Structure 1
Amino acid sequence: MTEYGAALRDHLDSDGMLVCPGVHDPLTAAVADAVGFETIYMTGYGTSLSKIGYPDAGFITMPEMIDNAANIQERIGVPLIADADNGYGNATNVVRTVREYIKAGVGGIHIEDQTFPKRCGHTKGRQVIPREEAVGKIAAAADTRDERGEEFVLIARTDARGTGGGSLDEAIGRVNAFLDAGADVAFVEGPTDEAELRRIGDAVDGPLVYNFVGDLGSSPYVDLSSLEDWGFDVVLFPIAATLSTIANAYADLSAFADDPVAAMRDIDDAFNETPVGSLHEFSGFPEVVEWERAYLPDEEQEKYEGSLGDDVE
């Protein structure tokens, strides 16, 4: 259960920045894996929107998030970093949250210091719990990691910068306290400009995450080389696959509404231009055939003789 945690730690210890595209389900994760990323990120916003149809406003529950993370990690061959929101309760709830994510086999998670219900880190109206309570939650998460899967990576996030009257000083103070409590990586959500990013890099005593949300939120577009120079180790692009899915599905289905046959041909052509092979090959049908040949009686193989359909062998 710590295989992907160990791999993620190796990436963090190596030179260079770790770039993680955000995905929201096993399908988008499989695409990211096929492209060749070293680590993939499970977005909470995209998971909520794709799994239950609600925005990232505290509607999705821990079991739903765990289930999605486990299915994604099963489908890909690289570590998954998963959003664990605010741990789904107080410090005692965090113990179970970390245990469940470790059981799911993911490489690591991030936990934030928002109140319940939480909301997207780039929307107005966020609130954070007192610093002492937040540190206790991270300490509980770190102790659980050490007991159940020491290779598991714990990323501690603060949303203090984006609350009413929130200051960068408070955010930096919080993540340094989280690192002292046992977190592996620090995550200041919502810096507003390059000067704040440079200050975070100078003042935080540990590995750093930058959440690259683009036009969705308040954090600026910056070059990856600059982020690396300022001391950032991991860059998350949390909503990349979700926005891509919405934009491309809207464009394709709009064309489909005008001329379904022509649009379907264009969709087929676009898919066939990718290097993933046929849909059946990409989805794993050849592996299913291998399982059948290895474990089912010989007479079960006869179903392929004379049958119609695409060859899935």
Structure 2
Amino acid sequence: MTEYGRQLRKQLDGDDQLVCPGVHDPLTAAVADTVGFDAIYMTGYGTSLSATGYPDAGFITMPEMISNAANIQERISVPLVADADNGYGNATNVVRTVREYIKAGVGAIHIEDQTFPKRCGHTEGRQVIPREEAVGKIQAAAEVRTERAEEFVLIARTDARGTGDGSLEEAIIRANAFLDAGADVAFVEGPTDESELQRIGAEVEGPLLYNFVGDLGTSPYVDLGTLEELGFEMVIFPIAATLATIASVHQNLQAFAEDPVDAMRQIDTQFNEQDIGSLHEFSGFPEVIEWEQRYLPDEDREKYEGSLGDSIQ
């Protein structure tokens, strides 16, 4: 349960900034893993949209999120940083939420201080719970981490900057209070420009995460070197794979609607140009064959003799 947390802590303690692409399911995670990253991020928005068809507005449940996180972590070879929304309730609910994510084997989670139902941190209409209550939730999460898996990384997020009467000052106060309550990394959601990033870097007394959402949110485009200079040790690109998936599927299916046969040829060509092998290789059939050879009776392997189909051996 602590293997990936231990890896993640080692990476955070190193000199290099940790950059995590966002994925929404085991398939997109497997693609990211073949490219090669030190850690991968599971987006709440993309998980909700891909698993339920609904936006990031509090529709997805804790078991759905944890199941997705567990399946992703099983499929990849590096630590997963998972969105845990607002912990799915009050501080007592957070206790079970953190226990379940630890059982799922992921390297880290982040918990935010939004009310329920929560929503995407870069949309209008967000609200946060009182500061004291929010600190209690982080304290509960930190104590579970200490009791169950000390290497597990706890990231505390505040959305206070983006509420109707929110201020950067309140967000910074909360971030520091969360670190004092036991969080390992602070995550101030929604800074609006580089001057706010400078204040966060100067005034938050601990490791920082930056949420790079691009055109979908309020946070500015800033190059990674500048973010590192400002003190942001971890950068997530949460919606990267989700946007790429939607754009690619839409483009290809538009062509498919015009000429299915030609579009299928183009899709085949596009896939074969990637350096991930065949679909069967990518999906893991060679490992299945290895299991069969290791564990099944010799006569069971005779099913391959003379059978038709694309080779998976």
Tell me the SS of whatever aligns to 2:263: helix
Q: Which residue of 2 aligns with 1:137?
A: 137
Q: Which residue of 1 aligns with 2:192?
A: 192
Q: Which residue of 2 aligns with 1:153?
A: 153
- CA distance in 1: counterparts of 2:290 and 2:163, whole angstroms: 54
Q: Which residue of 2 aligns with 1:72?
A: 72
Tell me the SS of whatever aligns to 1:233: strand
Q: Is 2:258 the partner of 1:258?
A: yes
Moved over 4 A (4+): none
Q: Which residue of 2 aligns with 1:239?
A: 239
Q: Which residue of 2 aligns with 1:17?
A: 17
TM-score of the pair, normalised by structure 2? 1.00
Q: Which residue of 2 aligns with 1:177?
A: 177
- CA distance in 2: counterparts of 1:275 and 1:266, whole angstroms: 16
Q: Which residue of 2 aligns with 1:45?
A: 45
Cα distance per residue 1:106-155 (max 9 Å; x no partner): 00000000000000000000000000000000000000000000000000
Cα distance per residue 1:191-247 (max 9 Å; x no partner): 000000011000000000000000101000011000001010000000000000000
- CA distance in 2: counterparts of 1:107 and 1:88, whole angstroms: 19
Percent identical residues = 80
Structure 1 position 16, deviation (Å): 1.5
Structure 1 position 311, deviation (Å): 1.2
Cα distance per residue 1:147-206 (max 9 Å; x no partner): 000000000000000001100000000010000000000000000000000110000000
Structure 1 position 282, deviation (Å): 0.3
Q: How does 1:1-313 map to 2 (within 5 A)?
A: 1-313=1-313
Structure 1, unmatched stretches of 5+, are none
Structure 1 position 250, deviation (Å): 0.2
Aligned length: 313
- CA distance in 2: counterparts of 1:266 and 1:234, whole angstroms: 37
Structure 1 position 310, deviation (Å): 1.3
Tell me the SS of whatever aligns to 1:22: strand
- CA distance in 1: counterparts of 2:310 and 2:35, whole angstroms: 25
Structure 2, unmatched stretches of 5+, are none
Q: Which amino acid is the alignment partner of residue 184 of structure 1?
A: D
TM-score of the pair, normalised by structure 1? 1.00
Q: Which amino acid is the alignment partner of residue 129 of structure 2?
A: I
- CA distance in 1: counterparts of 2:11 and 2:271, whole angstroms: 32
